[in-house]
Structure 1
């Protein structure tokens, strides 16, 4: 194994240790009560090691969500919007429900995980559209996509707090609520 590959593997393992530490701490503390020192101690690493991998605890949560979401976005089996929404709903509502529930409800507006989720969703569909159409979104399209992205994140948040997320139902609902101009791009 080359030095670069070896460092990347070690870095990924350290990031996963930090994530596991965060999940363990979330069983005992609210997210806003958790400190970087607690995360480092729980992961059995130094603060310096933590900061080599993440700038703060918010970046830990964002990294994990992006990692999981990108796996869904990039999975070649996910050819339709339904497939993508199903995959996102599965990991958010089943595989990682407790983590997602805590993170979607944290109150820090400056580093809002909720905003990160809706922005990730928005960026994915914006890039997909602009790549296929070879042009930027119009003002109206950007507005439609922003409303759909924020609304979608709010629906996931509501479902996480009040009921079980059924990935099939969520896939169908998101697919049917997709702006018409985006449906044509996704086919």
Structure 2
């Protein structure tokens, strides 16, 4: 593993430790770097701000789960892996999704999943999304992020398989048709 990656993970670990006792929006970069003995300069060489760190850590999840759909996993398998990762890192994701900052994970998760599905569909069709498909996809992705936040906020009352099945069931028929190879 590269030195930069080790430092990124060290900073993420520090952030996760701090989140056990403090909301994300109250944690400062100074708190993060002092907690893990990394310089502010090193932090800012790697990240723009603490939300960039959160989004980077989420990207680690994305690469291991839903971004593998169509490559290693079906839609259900990718979503299962995503929710299992969220459950393993519950405190981190509960805090990250609770943040209302403009750079928060809420916005990053939406952009990430929207662009992932958009690219899959455009590659399959060899054409840009129609305005109708774009609308349906945007609506679905907002709903998916919202329900993920709800699942976390209600302390994961539904089993992972249940929430994943419901997210797949909620796909509009025209999107299901576009993503049928993943189902």
1:149 Cα deviation after fit: 0.4
Tell me how far 1:62 sits from its aligned partner.
0.2
CA distance in 1, matches of 2:172, 2:121: 12
1:85 matched to 2:79? The reply is yes
Secondary structure at the counterpart of residue 161 of structure 2: helix
Distance 1:163 1:36 in 2: 28
Runs of 4+ residues over 6 Å off in structure 1: none
Distance in structure 1 (CA, Å) of the matches to 2:111 and 2:8: 22
Matched residue count:
177
Q: CA deviation at 1:181?
A: 2.5
Paired position in structure 2 for 1:5: none
Deviation (angstroms), 1:16: 0.2
**C-alpha displacement at 1:27, in angstroms?**
1.5
Shift of 1:81: 1.6
Counterpart CA distance in 2 for 1:141 and 1:181 is 7
In structure 2, the residue matched to 1:129 is 121
Distance in structure 1 (CA, Å) of the matches to 2:64 and 2:82? 9
Corresponding residue for residue 34 of structure 1: 27
Distance of 1:163 and 1:49 partners within structure 2 = 35
Q: Indicate conservation of the 8 Å contact 1:87/1:167, yes or no.
A: no
Q: Identify the residue that residue 144 of structure 1 maps to in structure 2.
A: 136
When normalised by structure 1's length, the TM-score is 0.89
Residues 3-47 of structure 1 show CA distances to partners (whole Å, capped at 9, x for unaligned) of: xxxxx6101000000000101111222211111111111121111
Which whole-Å CA distance do the structure 1 matches of 2:175 and 2:126 have between them? 14
SS at match of 2:99: coil
C-alpha displacement of 1:138: 0.9
Is the Cα–Cα contact under 8 Å of residues 64 and 81 in structure 2 kept in the other structure? no
**Partner in structure 1 of residue 45 of structure 2:** 52
Is the contact made by 1:61 and 1:113 (CA closer than 8 Å) also made in structure 2? yes
Shift of 1:137: 0.7
Say which SS state the counterpart of residue 111 (structure 1) adopts: coil
CA RMSD of aligned residues (A): 1.5
Query: In the aligned structure 2, how far is the partner of 1:83 from the partner of 1:184?
Result: 18
Distance 2:20 2:168 in 1: 34
- Are the equivalent residues in 2 in contact too, given 1:118–1:149 (CA < 8 A)? yes
Unpaired segments of 5 or more residues in structure 2?
Answer: none
Q: Aligned partners of 2:159 and 2:58: how far apart in 1? A: 19
CA–CA distance in 2 between the matches of 1:12 and 1:145?
Answer: 33
